[in-house]
Amino acid sequence: MRVAFVGFVITLLSISVVGCTKESPKGGPGKDVVKEEKKTKVEVAPGEGEVRREEKTTTEVGTDRDTTFSIKDPGTVSLNQGESKSVTININRGRKFDQAVKLSFKPDEGIKVESPTATVPGKENKVEVTVRAEPTATFGTHSVEVTGTPDTGSPTSLKFAVEVKEKKK
């Protein structure tokens, strides 16, 4: 009994330290940091002979996090067969990212997102969609892949879980 309790406490501590929130990789125009190479010629004092050499330097250009976004995992959606639920899809915006993000959904067989696309307007952070388990959906865990595409820049995607249970009679 004591061992089980200690295991439970360790699990709770690891959740609080690591956190439960999952997010997609970054997307948007700042996703890819551009690298620029410069060649510099260096001269040594003439008393020692003239020596020239080239150096390559790599500099990161642009801002990464300020112009990106990510999709937050809404957590597991629990549905009975034939049931629908409203799900909030949130995005995390960088300080300078104010573009609209078009969301598209790719559910597993037996799961349906009532609208195959939705848009999070510029400067807003969330949109509601309806997820449905078909009456014939198999029991167990399914997933829905959501892809966010900004007006400019790279898309990103995330899968969230849909748990289907037997319809209550």
Instruction: Give the pLDDT score at 42.
Output: 58
* pLDDT tens per residue across span 19-76: 455 888 888 877 655 555 556 555 655 666 655 555 666 555 554 678 899 999 999 9
| Domains contained in the chain, number | 1
Domain assignment of residue 10, yes or no: no
Instruction: Give the pLDDT score at 57.
Output: 60
Domain assignment of residue 26, yes or no: yes
In this predicted structure, the answer to whether residue 161 has a pLDDT above a threshold of 90 is yes
Q: Which residue has the tokens 């049931």?
A: 83
Domain assignment of residue 45, yes or no: yes
Instruction: Give the pLDDT score at 162.
Output: 98
Instruction: Give the pLDDT score at 32.
Output: 59
* pLDDT tens per residue across span 78-87: 999 999 999 9
Instruction: Give the pLDDT score at 27.
Output: 83
Domain assignment of residue 4, yes or no: no
Domain assignment of residue 158, yes or no: yes
What's the CA gap between 75 and 81, in Å, rounded? 19
Single out the residue of 91, 72, 73, 82 nearest to residue 131, CA to CA. Answer: 82
Domain assignment of residue 122, yes or no: yes
Question: What's the whole-number mean pLDDT along residues 85-97?
Answer: 95
Looking at the chain, which runs of residues are DSSP E strands? 34-43, 52-61, 69-71, 77-80, 84-93, 101-107, 111-113, 117-120, 126-133, 140-150, 156-165
- Look up the pTM and report it: 0.69
Average confidence score pLDDT of the chain: 80
Domain assignment of residue 15, yes or no: no
Domain assignment of residue 77, yes or no: yes
In this predicted structure, the answer to whether residue 5 has a pLDDT above a threshold of 70 is no
Question: What's the whole-number mean pLDDT along residues 144-160?
Answer: 96
Instruction: Give the pLDDT score at 168.
Output: 72
CATH number of the domain within which 110 lies: 2.60.40.10
Single out the residue of 97, 109, 108 nearest to residue 148, CA to CA. Answer: 97
- Residues spanned by the domain of 55: 21-169
